[in-house]
Amino acid sequence: MVDTEATISLADLGERRIYDEVIEPRYRDVPSFGDDCADFGHGLVVTTDSCPTPLLERIGERDLYYSGWLLATINLSDLAAAGALPEGLVVNYTLPSETSVGDLKRIIEGVDACAKFHGTRVLGGDIRDGKVRQLSATAIGRTLPRNFMRGRWSSGKLSRRGARAKDALILVGNPGYLWGAALVSRGHADVPVDVRLQILERARRPVAQLKAARLLARHGLAKAAIDVSDGLFAAVRLLAAANGLGAVMEPEIELDDVLKDVCEKSGVSSLQLGQNWGDWCLLVAVGHRQAAYALRALRKRNLSARRVGTLTSDPEKLLVRSENGPMAWQGIDQERFTARSWQGDGIDAHISWMKEQSQAVGRT
């Protein structure tokens, strides 16, 4: 008898089926399974993640300082999704033996700078040799104690679960910079040198939304939260699925002014640019009556946020508003182990897809 599991590859399944068929059945009884952080109890949460080859490196960035910065951001962003403050980072570097000492120092400096920016530090780690560079880290955080806010008890920890139909979806952070940099670097948007540098600098140093998440958790405003690591479409899909809901999205995403210019010149809509991955935003579900208050509270502290949609009672049905009524959301779903990721189809093919989708929505 042929062992079918021995003949089926991970590419045959794709990330979703790997999760549903292999991982979830084994760990479904773990209380925090499926969230961005593991819950160790007593307010302690832990996450671990690796840093892929940054898109910036593929469009010409050579300074590994920014790979180190990204590694720290990726892990700290998971803590933000739990409403936690960081206690520290533990890092693991696998590097080819021909890596220069200078490059190693730049990675370390990037990690340390990002950690310091977010109010934490590296506590330990490991380094080893390997054929390819692989950077990973573990982040430890503490959530708020259990408290009574807005007529209900809050555990102090944010989760992907807890949202309801009619809740507002709020995107916290500054979306669009990473792929805005890709559009500019590939010649799709001719912008002044100072604007180019501004976009590139923001793309180089993404920020984990720790302050915003803590604020929303403290005031009992966020009913559910998820780290936007694989793009807005994937984040909405996962958050909605965790709560047995669907969503209707707004046709435009509020972007910073420099990115509005990039959208206009490149023929890419704000929805297509803003729903991309790589900017490490945070998606939160807020009760529809508290949405305006939550946005004011965030903006009062100079934390960028905008409403991007509404959760609905239609399970897994993801739509976008249009003049002719809601239409199916043709979002970007970066499913690992398949060609449906930018690592699979390439930067230029992905940019072409963004333009095509922008034109298609514009015609409806």
What are the pLDDT digits (tens) for 83-93?
999 999 999 99
> Which tokens belong to 158?
């944010």
Tell me which of 76, 108, 142 is where a domain ends. Answer: 142
Of the chain, the percentage scoring pLDDT greater than 90 comes to 82
Distance CA 194, CA 199 (A): 9
Task: Mark whether 43 and 138 lie in a shared domain.
Answer: yes
In sequence order, the 6+-apart residues with CB closer than 8 A to the CB of 253 are 171, 175, 176, 232, 270, 271, 273, 274, 275, 306, 308
Q: Is residue 345 part of a domain?
A: yes
Task: Mark whether 176 and 105 lie in a shared domain.
Answer: no
Task: Mark whether 71 and 196 lie in a shared domain.
Answer: no
Task: Mark whether 197 and 299 lie in a shared domain.
Answer: yes
Tell me which of 116, 142, 168 is where a domain ends. Answer: 142
Number of residues that make up the chain: 364
Query: pLDDT at position 169, please?
Result: 98
Residue range 216-238: mean pLDDT, rounded: 95
SS3 track for 234-288: HHHHHHHHHCCCEEEECCCCCCCHHHHHHHHHHCCCHHHHHCCCCCCEEEEEECC
Domain that holds residue 102: 35-142
Inter-residue contact 54 to 82 (CB < 8 Å): no
Task: Mark whether 186 and 322 lie in a shared domain.
Answer: yes
What are the pLDDT digits (tens) for 246-260?
999 999 999 999 999
What are the pLDDT digits (tens) for 297-346?
999 999 999 999 999 999 989 999 998 889 999 887 778 887 766 566 68
pLDDT over 80 (residue 213)? yes
* CATH number for the domain harbouring residue 92: 3.30.1330.10
Distance CA 191, CA 194 (A): 8
Task: Mark whether 192 and 258 lie in a shared domain.
Answer: yes
Q: Is residue 28 part of a domain?
A: no
> Which tokens belong to 229?
């690591």
Give the chain's mean pLDDT: 93
Q: Which residue has the higher pLDDT, 237 or 6?
A: 237
Q: Is residue 1 part of a domain?
A: no
Number of domains in the chain: 2
Q: Is residue 17 part of a domain?
A: no
Q: Is residue 69 part of a domain?
A: yes
pLDDT over 80 (residue 153)? no
pLDDT over 50 (residue 2)? no
Q: Is residue 274 part of a domain?
A: yes
Task: Mark whether 262 and 300 lie in a shared domain.
Answer: yes
pLDDT over 50 (residue 364)? no
Distance CA 101, CA 348 (A): 33
- Is the sign of the CA dihedral 280, 238, 53, 101 positive or negative? positive
Query: pLDDT at position 324, please?
Result: 86
Distance CA 171, CA 132 (A): 35
Task: Mark whether 211 and 268 lie in a shared domain.
Answer: yes
pLDDT over 90 (residue 214)? yes
Tell me which of 94, 115, 142 is where a domain ends. Answer: 142
| DSSP letters for 95-148 | E-TT--HHHHHHHHHHHHHHHHHTT--EEEEEEEE-SS-EEEEEEEEEPPPPEE
